[in-house]
Structure 1
Amino acid sequence: MKVAFIGQKGIPATFGGGVERYVEAVASNLVKLNHEVFVYTRPYYTPAKRKKYEGVNLISLPSIRTKNFDAISTVFLASIHTLFQDYDIIHYQGVGPSLLSFIPRIFKPSAKVVVTFHSLDRLHAKWSKLAKLILTISEWTACKFPHQTIAVSKGLQVYCLKKYNTPTTFIPNGIYLDSKSDDKKVLSEFGLKKNKYFIAMSRLVAHKRIEDVINAFMKINNPDFKLVIIGGSSYTDDYQTFLQQLAADDQRIVFTGFLSGERLFTIMKNSLALASASEDEGMPITILEVMSLGVPVILSDIRGHRELGDNLIYFDLYDVKKLQKEMQYVLKNTKKVKAAAKLQQKMIINDYNWDDIAKSIAEVYRQDIVAPQSLGNTLF
């Protein structure tokens, strides 16, 4: 099959982003399954001169690079471009891009349209009221326009059914099983020592509540441990500046910016634990990857986190004092917490690997081709 991915910034996922990591993993694994795969990219993320990655064909299209028009401008161009290609599957990523999935659905009836519902984007604080309204409408389009909608978590699957009366296919995100080299030089670069630092890892956007992690850590009076913030701005420079100013007086807090590959792997693997105070998650790839390395996690008690297991360390959302206590608990009970994390590691590796996930997605594609009239919701 010829498969096109629309909505991501690009691949490889050099600058983070759950959608980009999802597309990189799924697209490259589909190539291994003998599918011909095309990924639309943006030149500021993936250089326009780059035409291939891991066997995946890359098509660079420009965008209006502002918070509100970056994604939709490229998605529009990509959607028009698909009309002149012989794709079998056109796979949109996220609710926002699904707003334009009607274009191939109407004007390219030979192709089958799929949307992956990654998260409830309208809940994310970085968006204006108008943008949140459009993203609410886009939830409806993600459920009603495509032949099939994929939900990355059971919570999102239930949400689509209850809110929009749309059955979806649950296929989770995954983790890479291939181990990268552990380069201790990276630790030295940031002044870190094995098992002597917490990590918080995400795009620096308000709904991730990185400030809660910072505030909790600053209340811990232990000069031997550090907090490493991994990630960068996503049209949220003001929020990034706010975080840096908040942490400015505590030399134990390190901002690394975006990391990828061996550098990211090394810092994740050698960390004491990950802390996430996020308000909303679909199926967080970064947390899955950390858990696959046997690293403990301390998580806000939200549906997207709970799906990762009931036996993890949870704290009430916005409760900085409880988060502080859980971080201190990890410091005092490191061996016990690490042993529990090793048990969770086995479950993550068994249940969330990209090889099986790509096969499940390919099966959704095949079902669409065999009997599109029996799947999902038709546009009319």
Structure 2
Amino acid sequence: MKVAMIGHKMIPSRCGGVEVAVGHLSESLSAAGVDIVAYNRSSDLDKKDGELRNVETRLVYAPRQKGLNATIYSYLATARAIKEGADIIHYHALGPAASLWMAKLFRKKVVVTVHGLNYKTPKWHGIGSLYIKFGEFITQRFADAVIVLSESTRQYFSEKYGRATFFFPNGISMEKADSYDVLERFGLRANSFLLCVSRLVPGKGLETLIEAYKKCRIDLPLVIVGDSEFVDEFKHKIKSLAADIDRVVFTGQLNKEDVTALYQSARLFIQPSEAEGMSLCLLEALWANCPCLVSDIPENTELLKESGSVFPVGNVNALSSAMQHMLSQCPAKTETRQRIERDYSWPNIAKMTASLYERVLDTNGGFFV
């Protein structure tokens, strides 16, 4: 069975949650005996971080332009996957999935993983938002199987389209950090800073976080890990919001070991997103037994369960009060790693995905539900 992975930027890479998920899923599927070919974007070659075990990769042209990057890449990658004889094309995210009609034209089996309803975030508007909505429509109408990462997204597809989906969450693949040099590099002390790991893009609630941090006037540094592309104006806005506070630290993109060390050393992890598919950063923070404070969107609360605190999404005053309250309580690190490793194992998720592939291939005509 040969499966093409299309939709991510570059794997292996930590430039986004989709990339982390596709990288680990591809390796786990390969270990389970599935022949995986991942189609990477040429525009993101600089983001490559290491090599994948037993996973073939192809470099596909993608222009460095926000409106055309994913669109042109996904059509070119689809054409190449068809030419190279993929049995199944597995699209990741609704935008790239808009090209699946081309795969169906050549009678290819198609699986789509919905990594979130991206058009709900301020990053996408106008034609971009409409194109992602088109991807959603064509996914529910023509994909042989649809995978979702949260129960709320499964309910959405059921209620709006009457379309059955498969709930396969993201997994976790973490090891304790061997080095904590990253703390010294940014002038940090263990258990004495707040942490947010996020791409610097609209919809992640970073404005809310910085305004809340300014309002509560706490002495601990706020460390924001992550970067972005195509949104330089937004990055400038975020950094300008924090310009008058020397305690806000922007680290840029960090490697996995550095981020793990920060998770394990933070006093509090804050995830203020306005919309998510399933937050891998929150999953990683829970694995590290880091106390968590998150926005109350369903995708966060499903993952958090009773293992942290929530605040109303977008509410600066509520976030500020919650931060002060949690810090005044000196939250202890609770044991969440065991639950996370049990419920979010990549080998188990790969086994479910491989089984779904086999059932899709055995289905003749119509889409598989």
TM-score norm. by structure 2 comes to 0.95
Among candidates 130, 133, 138, match of residue 133 of structure 1: 130
Matched, 1:143 2:140: yes
Please name the residue that 2:284 is paired with.
289
Residue correspondence of structure 1 range 170-209 to structure 2 within 5 A: 170-177=167-174, 179-209=175-205
Shift of 1:47: 5.9
Q: CA offset at residue 375 of structure 1?
A: 4.6
Is the contact made by 1:166 and 1:376 (CA closer than 8 Å) also made in structure 2? no
CA–CA separation in structure 1 for the residues paired with 2:93 and 2:367? 19
The answer on whether the counterparts of 1:117 and 1:150 sit within 8 Å (CA) in structure 2 is yes
1:356 and 1:234 mapped to 2: Cα distance? Answer: 33
Cα 1:140–1:310, aligned 2, differ >3 Å: closer, same or farther? same
CA 1:88–1:48: 2 relative to 1, 3 Å: farther
Unaligned runs of 5+ in 1: none
CA distance in 2, matches of 1:238, 1:329: 33
Question: 3-state SS of the aligned residue for 1:69?
Answer: helix
TM-score normalised by structure 1 residue count? 0.92
Distance 1:49 1:187, change over 3 A: closer
Partner in structure 2 of residue 376 of structure 1 = 368
Report the alpha carbon displacement of residue 370 of structure 1 after superposing the two structures with TM.
1.9
Aligned residues: 368
Give, in whole Å, the separation in 1 of the partners of 2:83 and 2:228.
35
Counterpart for residue 254 of structure 1: 249
Unaligned runs of 5+ in 2: none
2:13–2:47: 8 Å Cα contact kept in structure 1? no
| Aligned amino acid, residue 359 of structure 2 | Q
Matched position secondary structure for 1:53:
coil
After TM superposition, what 4+ stretches of structure 1 lie above 4 angstroms from structure 2? 47-52
Q: Is the 8 A contact 1:122 1:135 kept in 2?
A: yes
Report the 3-state secondary structure (helix = DSSP H, G, I; strand = E; otherwise coil) of the residue aligned with 2:77. Answer: helix
Which residue in the other structure is 2:213 paired with? 217
Aligned equivalents of 1:302, 1:22: Cα separation in 2:
21
Instruction: Look up the match of 1:105.
Output: 104
Deviation for aligned residue 1:82 = 1.7
1:1-380 matches, within 5 Å, as 1-14=1-14, 16-46=15-45, 53-107=52-106, 109=107, 111-177=108-174, 179-223=175-219, 225-311=220-306, 312-334=308-330, 337-339=331-333, 341-342=334-335, 344-373=336-365, 375-376=367-368
- Tell me if structure 1 keeps the 8 A contact 2:12–2:50: no
Q: Structure 2: how far apart are the matches of 1:47 and 1:38? A: 20
Q: CA deviation at 1:128?
A: 2.8
SS of 2:86's equivalent in the other structure is coil
8 Å CA contact 1:6, 1:97 repeated in 2 = yes
- Counterpart of 2:225 in structure 1: which amino acid? I
Query: Does the 8 Å CA contact 2:11/2:48 hold for their aligned counterparts?
Result: no
Q: Percent sequence identity over matched residues?
A: 32
Superposition CA RMSD, Å? 1.9
